[in-house]
A and B are shown apart, each in its own frame.
Chain A
Amino acid sequence: NAGVTQTPKFRVLKTGQSMTLLCAQDMNHEYMYWYRQDPGMGLRLIHYSVGEGTTAKGEVPDGYNVSRLKKQNFLLGLESAAPSQTSVYFCASTQRSRGDATNEKLFFGSGTQLSVL
Chain B
Amino acid sequence: AQKITQTQPGMFVQEKEAVTLDCTYDTSDPSYGLFWYKQPSSGEMIFLIYQGSYDQQNATEGRYSLNFQKARKSANLVISASQLGDSAMYFCAMREGRGTGGFKTIFGAGTRLFVKA
Residues of A within 8 A of B (CB): 31, 33, 35, 40-45, 48, 50, 58-59, 88, 90, 92, 94, 97, 99-106, 108, 110-111
The answer to whether B85 has its CB under 8 Å from any CB of chain A is no
With a 10 A CB-CB cut-off, give which of B43, B45, B91 has the most chain A CB atoms: B45
Given contacts A40-B9, A111-B43, whether A102 and B106 have CB atoms under 8 Å apart is: no
Chain B residue total in the interface (Cβ 8 A): 31
Other 20 A-B pairs with CB < 8 A, given A48-B103, A58-B104: A33-B104, A33-B105, A40-B109, A42-B4, A42-B110, A43-B91, A44-B107, A45-B106, A97-B102, A100-B98, A100-B99, A102-B33, A102-B95, A103-B33, A105-B47, A106-B37, A106-B93, A108-B44, A110-B44, A111-B43
- B32 at interface, CB cutoff 8 A: yes
Q: Chain A residues near B110 (CB, 8 Å)?
A: 42
Contact A42-B95, Cβ < 8 Å, known A50-B103, A103-B52, A106-B47: no
